[in-house]
Amino acid sequence: MRGVVFDGKHVEVVHDLVVREPGPGEVLVRVVAAGLCHSDLSVIDGTIPFPAPVVLGHEGAGVVEAVGPGVTHVAPGDHVALSTLANCGACADCDRGRPTMCRKAIGRPQQPFSRADGRPLFQFASNSSFAERTVVKAVQAVKIPRDIPLTSAALMGCGVLTGVGAVLNRAKVDRGETVVVIGTGGIGLNVLQGARIAGALTIVAVDTNPAKEETALRFGATHFLDSTETVRDILPTGADHVFECVGHTGLVRTAIDLLDRHGQAILLGMTAPTAEASFPPAAMFLDKSILGCRYGSSRPQKDIALYAELYREGRLLLDELVTATYPVEEFARAAEDAEQGKVARGVLTF
């Protein structure tokens, strides 16, 4: 079968992938569509260290082909969105409703794939949706209504969970509050619509690319700026919430500087593991906070079901996130378009 493989130096679309059958508590999914997220590109450029060779992809949707023993919530033929959270469901963090903190779901890559000659390959983010078929833990396969296009549903597995979840689950933005979103890529757009859904009064989008204004306004921004320097023209006392969605250490300092009293800066952009940011501690004395956020502090089985209903009600935009679709053989073109900021989200199809 086809898939996108990174060998540690080069990326290649191969045609000889093999994936094992599902074991107890696992699901075999035929992937129909997979979003190309910057996290995949960050593996390629080394920003995210990951063992190789690896089958890339972590934002996908498809159809269940087979289930292992003990799986009852999905069955062959069901449409599913895939999450990256292979959480155990039994530890203290899972029991508290914090699956993103499950230690068994972090940093333990498996090797369910191999090449035709038997060489094993790692699975990226417990998912590897850039393959025609993948095996995931049952908890990662979330049943969705059949009337949601799979090219759109694929984006719920990462971009929507991370962006909307950061607003609703982590920051807990409330009605009438003010929000600044720095960076309006795939994650930033979902933060914008999360803030809109939460009822934020003023939502300022900031991006150096003026071509992104129309899309940002469609997703929920009330204002669009090409620089953070003019944010206080709109919010003189600062914002209740500032989301950094770029992954630039200098913008971490900017996010803090833009906070109002009791404001909070939420860090979503992925920096290099060794990168450091600096800020004056005195800036925090008025009850300000800096919040890290992994995967939107999400609970995929609950949250994806919610987002699916919001989509069906017209309150959550998914189709509008899909700027372009590419057959998997055109991965290189999709990656180039993403790197150049030409797409909100490009989607690979099988």
Q: What is the pLDDT of residues 32-90, one digit of tens each?
A: 999 998 889 999 998 888 999 999 999 999 999 999 999 999 999 999 999 999 999 99
Rounded mean pLDDT of 292-302? Answer: 96
Distance in angstroms (rounded) separating the CA atoms of residues 211 and 191: 18
User: pLDDT at residue 106 above 80?
Assistant: no
Dump pLDDT digits (tens) for 275-295: 999 999 998 999 999 999 999
pLDDT-above-90 percentage for the chain = 92
Average pLDDT over all residues of the chain: 95
Cβ atoms within 10 Å of 242's Cβ, excluding its own: 33
pLDDT of residue 233: 98
Most confident stretch, 67-81, 107-121, 260-274: 67-81
Give me the phi and psi of 115, to 5 degrees please.
Answer: -85, 170
Rounded mean pLDDT of 224-253? Answer: 97
pLDDT of residue 105: 83
> Among all chains, which residue has been given the structure tokens 């378009």?
337
Dump pLDDT digits (tens) for 316-341: 999 999 999 999 999 999 999 998 88
Identify which has the larger pLDDT, 37 or 31.
31
Window from 13-17, 120-124, 237-241, 337-341 with minimum mean pLDDT: 337-341
pLDDT of residue 342: 84
Rounded mean pLDDT of 181-210? Answer: 97
Of the CA atoms within 13 Å of residue 31, those in its CB half-sphere come to 34
pLDDT of residue 108: 78
User: pLDDT at residue 107 above 80?
Assistant: no
Dump pLDDT digits (tens) for 243-265: 999 999 999 999 999 999 999 99
User: pLDDT at residue 201 above 90?
Assistant: yes
pLDDT of residue 273: 82
Q: Which two tokens stand for residue 181?
A: 């979103």
User: pLDDT at residue 165 above 80?
Assistant: yes
**How far is CA 325 from each of CA 97, 150, 331, rounded to the nearest angstrom?**
35, 12, 10
User: pLDDT at residue 302 above 80?
Assistant: yes
What global pTM score does this model have?
Answer: 0.94
pLDDT of residue 241: 98
**Closest by Cα among 213, 277, 96, 106 to 265:** 277
User: pLDDT at residue 103 above 80?
Assistant: yes
Rounded mean pLDDT of 10-20? Answer: 97
Contacts of 114 by beta carbon, 8 Å cutoff, 6+ apart? 17, 18, 20, 120, 121
User: pLDDT at residue 110 above 80?
Assistant: yes
| 166 neighbors 296 (Cβ within 8 angstroms) | yes
pLDDT of residue 225: 98
Q: Is the alpha carbon torsion for 17, 327, 193, 235 positive or negative?
A: positive
pLDDT of residue 227: 97
